Amino acid sequence: MGIYMDNAATTAQKPADVAEAMTKILQGEYGNPSRGAHGYSLAGFRVAEEAREQVKKLFQADQRYEAAFTNNATVALNEVLKGLIQAGDHVITTDWEHNSVLRPLYQLEKQGASFDVISSEAVTGRLNYGEFVEYLRPETKAVICNHASNVTGNLLDLEWVKDFCEKHQLYLIIDASQTAGVVPIDLSDGKISAVCFTGHKSLYGPQGTGGVCLRKNLPIEPVLTGGDGMQSFSKVQPKELPTLLEAGTLNIPGLAGLTASIQWLQAKEARPELGEYFYQGLEEIAGLTIYGDFTGARVDVFSINIKDAESAIVSDLLWEEFSIATRPGYHCAPLMHNALGTADRGTVRISFSSFTTKAEVDEVLAALRNLALR
């Protein structure tokens, strides 16, 4: 169809193993896990448990952690934030957050919680880490941070935030939607309370998968409740993880696909570094504004604008004239655009995957050069 550069929204190309693993479930003899002791049910249960083990291994999670599955990162973030934060609690978050964090926080604010937002710099989007301590209050309970901005590609200084949270005894929730599978996340020091992730982006799994890898001892009240197949006479959702956060039937074919994709990720060869190459190419194009911080660690998500053009017009031209799929607008991250200075027109977002080639990157640069001359 063209050149797909919208991998921060979803990776369109998946390893072949994913569809194969899912087909195996759908054409095989797999029942509903935890809903019977027969072989079909156990086969389904084993698929879920294998995915759990893969996720825990990926995040180097030890026995203090459990993985619970949802249908996407948004639901996981809702479950963790709304389950953990009560009226009266205070939360520190950042300009980088997606609406999957901000909208739950606005809802919690209506219910009597409060939050402050760490600001970031114009154009570079660099986070002002000094503000963390300024916003600290006796009632501060948690920090929720995007591990990498889905607008700029800037990576959080996770070690700094971990130490801050440890020092002040705050729960630390990480939104790894842009990083799981591409930036290592190491839970082995126990400092992160919960990592919310999606399966369908840089983990290369199917849509319909995601979840949270979290400390078992978090005082979470379930947002979603239902059958668990075990404690039918209990009026409340069982307190045990993962059941506490997994109301209703799991996406077993999806989890088989996720296991396959994580295994593929771990076995694949490192791909040539294209981000720095692309950035250098962008810098040579007159008339481009490049957003983000290119002095530190980052993921391959780039936001640009061309002269004073609307991002939607540039993105449409890229698709119509060059068959290059990018995403214009605000990327569900309004505060980031207030900070960058792009609240009026958004940005054109270009995001790579493991399948992105140098030839494709060259074509994107050529198209941008063409458009910048108009």
Nearer to a copy of itself, 54 or 78 (CB): 78
Q: Exposure pattern of 150-160 as b/e (b: 16+ CB <10 Å)? A: bbbbbbbebee
Q: How far is the CB of 209 from a copy of itself (least distance, A)?
A: 8
The span from the CA of 179 to the CA of 185, in Å, is 8
The encoded tokens of residue 130 equal 């000094």
Nearer to a copy of itself, 132 or 175 (CB): 175
Can you give the C-alpha Rg of the chain in angstroms? 21
Nearer to a copy of itself, 48 or 165 (CB): 48
Q: How far is the CB of 8 from a copy of itself (least distance, A)?
A: 9
Q: How far is the CB of 62 from a copy of itself (least distance, A)?
A: 28
E strand map for the chain = 3-4, 65-70, 90-94, 114-118, 140-146, 171-175, 194-198, 210-215, 288-291, 301-306, 324-325, 348-351
Nearer to a copy of itself, 6 or 157 (CB): 6
E strand map for 125-263 = 140-146, 171-175, 194-198, 210-215
Nearer to a copy of itself, 187 or 336 (CB): 336
Cβ atoms of residues 202 and 155 within 8 Å: no
- Judging by DSSP bridges, how do beta strands 194-198 and 210-215 pair with one another? antiparallel
Q: State the amino acid at position 175 in one-letter form.
A: D
Nearer to a copy of itself, 81 or 218 (CB): 81
The span from the CA of 105 to the CA of 358, in Å, is 40
Nearer to a copy of itself, 106 or 160 (CB): 106
The span from the CA of 281 to the CA of 361, in Å, is 9
Select from 277, 288, 278, 276 the least CA-distant residue to 370: 288
Q: How far is the CB of 119 from a copy of itself (least distance, A)?
A: 17
The span from the CA of 155 to the CA of 133, in Å, is 20
Nearer to a copy of itself, 54 or 315 (CB): 315
Nearer to a copy of itself, 269 or 320 (CB): 320
Q: How far is the CB of 315 from a copy of itself (least distance, A)?
A: 7
**Phi and psi dihedrals of 41, rounded to 5?**
-65, -40
Q: How far is the CB of 174 from a copy of itself (least distance, A)?
A: 16
Q: How far is the CB of 250 from a copy of itself (least distance, A)?
A: 7
The encoded tokens of residue 11 equal 């990776």
Q: How far is the CB of 208 from a copy of itself (least distance, A)?
A: 3
Q: Say which residues have a Cβ less than 8 Å from residue 136's Cβ, sequence separation at least 6.
A: 92, 168
Nearer to a copy of itself, 61 or 324 (CB): 324
The span from the CA of 144 to the CA of 236, in Å, is 27
Q: How far is the CB of 193 from a copy of itself (least distance, A)?
A: 20
6 CB burial (10 A radius; 0-12, 13-18, 19+):
middle
Q: How far is the CB of 258 from a copy of itself (least distance, A)?
A: 11
The span from the CA of 107 to the CA of 116, in Å, is 14
